[in-house]
Chains A and B, each alone.
Chain A
Amino acid sequence: MSILLERASRTPSGGGLGKWVPHLFLFFFLLLIGLSILFNLLLAPVVVAPCTSGQPCGAPPSVPAVIRETVWRSSQYGFSLEYPASVVKVSRQTPSGVVLTVNVAGKSGAVTIHGFGAGTTPAEAISQQVGGLEGVSQLAGDSNPAHQVLGASVGYIAGAARAYVGDVTSPQGSQPASIVSEAAADGRVTVSATVVGDTSDSGHTSDLYALADLMINSVRWHG
């Protein structure tokens, strides 16, 4: 294919736009920004807080109850929890906690349950656990009223909760992820549970959250 071609001599035609380039660029760039704002507004989900604290809210979870399921026990802090082994797998564990991978109805997520010493408050446990999450970037508190956790508890002991948003990023772009964390203490140990999933697989009506709720409620504080 290597061919010596006669060189094409070109007349200079460059730079015709000259000093108008920044103006033209700004015009088109702002136009595109305006269009994308409009596009985002049209696609934006309607934010309605579905529940109020202390009031009955919605139908019960659609996932099967966790009854006589597989038990995981913390050898360091003595608390235990139950999970349905058919849809939940232990991915990583230490004497103080466990990372569970949930795969229910094609939706996946991770539930991290970790024990802390009595000196750690539930709020501190949440911060420590969420701060230690690998692979989630741009993490910040979720101010969306529809995403707030009402009546936070672990193993039926009232505690603290926080909702976060973050992104799971790759060299190709960003994908939003939802993170919700609850923690409670019984005076001897503080247990914190964090649920991470795709934003589209999360939310108060999702199977992921319903199953996580059941597992968090199944926590027995002393074996």
Chain B
Amino acid sequence: MIELPQSRLISSLFPRLPRDSHRSYRLALGLGSAAIVVLAVLRLFPVALIAAALLLPLLVVLYLVDVNAYEDEPVWALSLTMGWGAIAGVGFGLLALAVEPSPATVIVSGTSHYLVVQGLLLPFCGFFVLLGGPLVLLRYHRFNAVLDGVTFGASTAAAFSGAQAITYSAHLIGAGLRPGGAVLPWIWRLLSFGLGMPIVTMGAAAAACAALWLRYRAPVRDAQALGTLGHPAMALPLGGLLVAGAAAGETFLSPGGWLIWLVAFDAVAISLLARTIHVGLLEESAAADAGDASLGSAPGAPL
């Protein structure tokens, strides 16, 4: 996202990444975004949609391999994060298809018809369902650092968002390679589905998981480090509201307006996440030897 400081975005979503790797990830994100725009300009909308849905999950997989996030337990840990996110995303995509109003209803009632169910209810519930996978990992002492929670939350949310977008748009994928449509609104939509919405979901899920890990896995002195906002009873509903609020904008804004709306929500989610990562890094540096302190890089001072 151009409007978001990319270094803060990368360091927040991928907190275990060494600072000198940030540039590579920024470049990858930029190349992926450019490819989506090019595909849209060529009117290959179904392909662009798949590419948008897979952009962040692919980057997350590279990150997980890069930092060896799951150590020597990759299969089941990956199943409970990205696997669970993908299954939940497919489920919620099918659910959204089942409750979607027909084009006739939208013509008659307007897009406000979407607001309650698809704009608020499904994103809010989906957020809590996607946290189910990482919650299972909370039980395992092997993954006891706050940054583990951040990684699990972000990766599950990336897979959830991608799977949901592809499932819901399956009809479009069967409509041919170049089904027609106005290019510019399509570009805004694709950037919203590929970046705007997944980033706010990843940020909110990572922050919620970080709060859980901070509460139940961190030393007592760190458990209160984030104050009220870091308590799961506050952080989880706040994450759900962030995701639902971001999604609700689609129901009453133009495609370009929704993208701007999402950028604002992305900024809030990433700021929230940056605070928890800051605590997580302090926690790790306190636990590790002086030589281990280079593990990650702080996304910036807490707000």
Contact = CB atoms under 8 A, between A and B. Distances in A.
A139 B107 CA distance: 14
B144 A7 contact: yes
B182 A140 contact: yes
Interface residues of A, number: 77
Interface in A1-52: 1-5, 7-22, 24-26, 28-30, 32-33, 36-37, 39-41, 43-45, 47
A141 B46 CA distance: 17
Contact of A101 (B96, B108, B142, B171): B108
**Interface residues on chain B, size class:** 35 or more
A168 B171 CA distance: 12
Residue in B51, B92, B176, B220 whose Cβ sees the most chain A Cβ within 10 Å: B176
Contacts of B103: 108-110, 135-136, 168, 175, 177, 196-198
A166 B182 CA distance: 8
Given A134-B106, A134-B107, A17 B186 contact: no
A172 B141 contact: no
A2 B21 contact: no
B20 interface: yes
Contacts of B25: 21
B49 A174 contact: yes
B181 A165 contact: yes
Interface string A67-111: 000000000000000000000000110000001011000001110
A20 B27 CA distance: 11
Contact of A26 (B28, B92, B114, B193): B28
A25 B28 contact: yes
Residue in B108, B111, B174 whose Cβ sees the most chain A Cβ within 10 Å: B108
Given A15-B66, A112-B107, A28 B295 contact: no
A196 B284 CA distance: 58
Contact of B180 (A4, A99, A142, A169): A142
Contacts of B288: 7, 9-10
Interface string B79-93: 000000000000011
B35 A33 contact: yes
B173 A29 contact: no
A136 B105 CA distance: 11
A3 B21 contact: no
Given A18-B21, A171-B123, 18 more contacts: A2-B215, A3-B216, A7-B288, A14-B16, A15-B20, A16-B67, A22-B31, A110-B103, A110-B107, A135-B107, A138-B186, A138-B255, A171-B197, A172-B93, A172-B168, A173-B164, A174-B193, A197-B102
- Listed from nearest, the 10 A-B pairs whose CB atoms lie closest are A173-B168, A7-B287, A135-B106, A171-B247, A21-B24, A110-B104, A25-B28, A173-B169, A14-B67, A15-B18
28 contacts: A2-B216, A2-B223, A8-B287, A9-B287, A10-B284, A14-B66, A15-B66, A16-B66, A16-B68, A18-B20, A25-B32, A32-B58, A36-B46, A37-B177, A109-B103, A109-B104, A135-B113, A138-B186, A139-B182, A143-B180, A165-B180, A170-B100, A170-B119, A172-B118, A175-B103, A175-B171, A196-B104, A197-B102
